[in-house]
Structure 1
Amino acid sequence: MPSTFESEIDTFIDFQQQCHSLCCRILELFAVALDIDRDWFVSRHDSKAGPSGTIFRMLYYPQIDSTYQDGIDIRAGAHSDYGSITLLFQQRGQPGLEILTPGGQWTSVPVDPHDGASMATINSDDARSLPILVNIGDLLQDWTSGLLKSTKHRVVFPAGESSDRYSLVS
């Protein structure tokens, strides 16, 4: 953990635990929808039985510098997540995430449900309703024999955007 955040370690631990709980709830709902034992997925993430497989990352993508080459440089190459599900938290006004559609085309994933409104125009109740992107991972695709599909995605430098980008992944 960067020394800048050491004084907030308890906050990060609490946040990660809440993310784990949310993932377990989502996995439980998937099990119900698939008509299997509601604890089937969750039991494989039980930290009381051993490592849960949960990883928490703070991602920083630096701003574009003078050596940037449009169409060549990207922030994170195309990949799918190897776990069961991933929660992604992004800041408003920091686009760049793209998913690969079933037709083989890259398409942008909207970040802001408030359609570009600035934080100054969003009341505090709205600030709590920031979206959480849920990605299906390779493991969940395998567990469901391909019924639920892993999401191939990447992070690019969107046109007209050159600033830093931050996200949290759990």
Structure 2
Amino acid sequence: MPTAVLPQIPLYEPAPATNEPLDYADLAVIDLSKANTPEGRAELAVQVRDAMHTQGFFYVINHGLMPSQNARMFDIADAAFSQVTEDEKKILTSDFKITGAYEGYKLRRVWHIDSGVRDQIEQYNIHRHVRTQAHPKALTPLLPELDAFARFNHFEVLHPILRLFALGLELPEDTFVNMHNFDGPGDTSLRFMKYYPRSEDEEIATKNVWLKGHADIGSVSILWSQRVGGLQILSSDGNWRWVRHIENALVINAGDSMDFLSGGFYKPTIHRVTQPPADQRNYARLGIFYFSKPDDDVKLIPLSASPVLQRNGIKRRCDDADAPTAGEWRKGVTSAYGMTNLKKTESGVEEEVISGIVVKHYN
């Protein structure tokens, strides 16, 4: 990250931590500093493999970014919303339904949640090559920091995790790294996301769900932990459990693309966002994410050479000949999300078909 004198922007004041007695998921904590040696990677690979096969989520600590740098990024993330006019946001709004890629802003009230209620979520999406798109005036002086942060996420977090994923399948270390090139074709990107409090009527109509239960599109999602609660995962016993905030930690999960590539071994766990705990309900929920996807030309078929998959079996979501590329899958899901009429099953799960594959949404 840059060490020169930084442009001045308003400081973001995070909410106080919740004191509510929540039912938290028991997630593994991975010390990424151990990944610097072959012995450390071997140890971590087993921990990551077990976490991803059983829970689909884990925490990362000791990733290399200082708490002060973390706080600065939340200052920048908030500036993308609080320091940009509505008119400028509209000019820089993404036409993701046509392009199949998020770039620029997604404004509020675009996605349908339930019972006629639309979302109260703003996004600002930044391609990993940050200078390839137009940015609001407030962020232009911050582009060197955004560029450094995108590269940090890609090379210092994503690639080490992908190496652990490969080792966990007993494959060569760079198997997944070679599918996630920083200069390759694709939509791996940085995202700032702000959830705003809703009216009581909207909470009742949606049963307090702010973002439907879903699996992510890509391979690995990196969430920078923040204080306002709301993220929940669907546990194997069918119960939703909260994800606990850990200061300066990351929350990692796999998405559909990794599910395809790992033959169902690495779980794309269903997760959602709900109304925050009672003592945080007057606060907006600000998030920072790095959503990684394989290069667009990667065909999403199981890596059947893996000894682990050979021992455990492969679960295919479609025949290999019919499998989409990462680019086809990303465009199909992005274009449809929150925009299509979903078919509700008897269990209450909503479904749609993309590239011949059933995609489920949980409320």
TM superposition score category, shorter chain reference: 0.7 to 0.9
- 1:55: Cα distance to partner? 1.6
Question: What's the C-alpha RMSD, in Å, of the aligned pairs?
Answer: 1.8
Deviations 1:23-42 (A, max 9, x none): 11100111112111111101
Equivalenced residue count is: 152
C-alpha distance in 2, partners of 1:61/1:101?
Answer: 24
How far 1:4 sits from its partner (Å)? 2.9
Tell me which amino acid in the other structure corresponds to 2:287. S
The corresponding residue for 2:159 is 24
Q: Which of 79, 95, 116 in structure 1 is aligned with 2:214?
A: 79
Question: 2: distance between equivalents of 1:63 and 1:8?
Answer: 28
What pairs with 1:45-124 in structure 2 (closer than 5 Å)? Answer: 45-48=180-183, 50-65=184-199, 67-70=201-204, 72-92=207-227, 94-112=228-246
Q: Equivalents in 2 of 1:85, 1:58: separation in Å?
A: 17
Structure 1 consecutive aligned stretches of length 4 or more whose deviation exceeds 4 Å? none
For residues 19-67 of structure 1, the C-alpha deviation after alignment (integer angstroms, 9 at most, x for no partner) is 111111100111112111111101111134x225412110000123354
- The amino acid of 2:224's aligned partner reads F
Give 1:11's match in structure 2, choosing from 115, 129, 145.
145
Match of 2:12 in 1: none
Give 1:41's aligned residue: 176
Partners of 2:246 and 2:174 lie apart in 1 by 33
| Structure 2, unaligned runs of 5 or more | 1-134, 291-363
Say if 2:265 is the partner of 1:147: yes
Query: Percent same amino acid at aligned positions?
Result: 28
Contact 1:45 1:51 in 2 (8 A): no
- Relative contact order, higher structure (CA 8 A, sep 6+): 1
- Is the CA contact (8 Å cut-off) linking 2:154 and 2:182 kept in structure 1? no
Q: Quick one: distance in 2 between partners of 1:155 and 1:133?
A: 14
Q: TM-score, normalised by structure 2?
A: 0.40
Summarize the Cα distance change of 1:23–1:167 in structure 2 as closer, same or farther, 3 Å threshold. Answer: same
**Aligned mates of 1:4, 1:65 — CA distance in 2:** 30
Letter in 2 for 1:86: S
* Structure 1 residues 58-117: Cα deviation after superposition (integer angstroms, max 9, x where no partner): 00001233544246242211111111100001322x11000011122111010135xxxx
Taking the aligned partners of 1:90 and 1:18, their CA distance within structure 2 comes to 16
Q: Which 10-residue stretch deviates more, 38-47 or 67-76?
A: 67-76
**2 CA distance for matches of 1:134 and 1:76?**
18
| Bigger shift: residues 62-71 or 30-39 | 62-71
Shift, 1:140, TM fit: 0.9
Indicate the residue corresponding to 2:286 in structure 1.
166
Query: Letter of the aligned partner of 2:259 in structure 1?
Result: Q
Output the TM-score relative to the length of structure 1.
0.81
Larger radius of gyration: 2
Between Structure 1 and Structure 2, the one with more helix by share is 2
